[in-house]
Structure 1
Amino acid sequence: MRVVAGIICCGFLVNLGTDKELGDRLKDRELTEAEKDFVNALRLGHILAFATGSSTIPAMGFNPNPKLSFSHDEAKVHPIAHTCANELQLFVNNRTLANNDEFEYIILAGLMNGAVFSTV
């Protein structure tokens, strides 16, 4: 179970671009002070909490196993967490695939807005 959660978190970080830190990838964007503070504090637990509602892996593992799904929808961009199903849904479209920092910013906004669900 721990391996599955780790793979999802690592895969998510690959999508954010492990060649650079998130703060570096967003350096050309005007971030608010709250966004800058969140980027500096961002940990894997934030991603796990957003997707599952839990910032740590339960002792007995997740039931059901965490799942990452992709939807092709031009009208939606923000990730959706189905915490009862432990599913993170990402949208694939022209905006999220643009060769800029849009995907990273969308993920940042989703994680920041989802942070009230669970504390990390």
Structure 2
Amino acid sequence: MKLIILICSDDERTGENAISRALNAIEMIREDLGNAPICVVAQSDTREKVRESLGWYRDSSVLVFHGLDISASTLLVDTKDEKVLKAKFEDWKEEFFFLDNYQTIAFHFTVVNGNEPENSEEIFR
């Protein structure tokens, strides 16, 4: 296993919060898959319109990346400054050896109601 991305939100049906769900899921993943890096995205969504449109129950998602020719790396940047975000992302990209047969997949997670640069999604393209 190279990288596991776990995405959790609250389960309003059972009352379990996002962090608790994530910790329980991590425990199950570790039992089955061993010691792989896990990137956890767990956050309670307090936006009322989103809650109503999604319904009471929201499921978690688990993305698993594995294989002999797969490399994984994560980057966490907590800033509202566009220049800082771009510089950190460019430095992070420099760590990879970009060859013709390499494919890079970037996941961009934001905090609900969080502050980030206006064009942060453009920076990751």
Could you tell me the TM-score, scaled by structure 1's length? 0.32
The structure having more radius of gyration, on CA atoms, is 2
**Structure with a larger share of its residues in helix:** 1
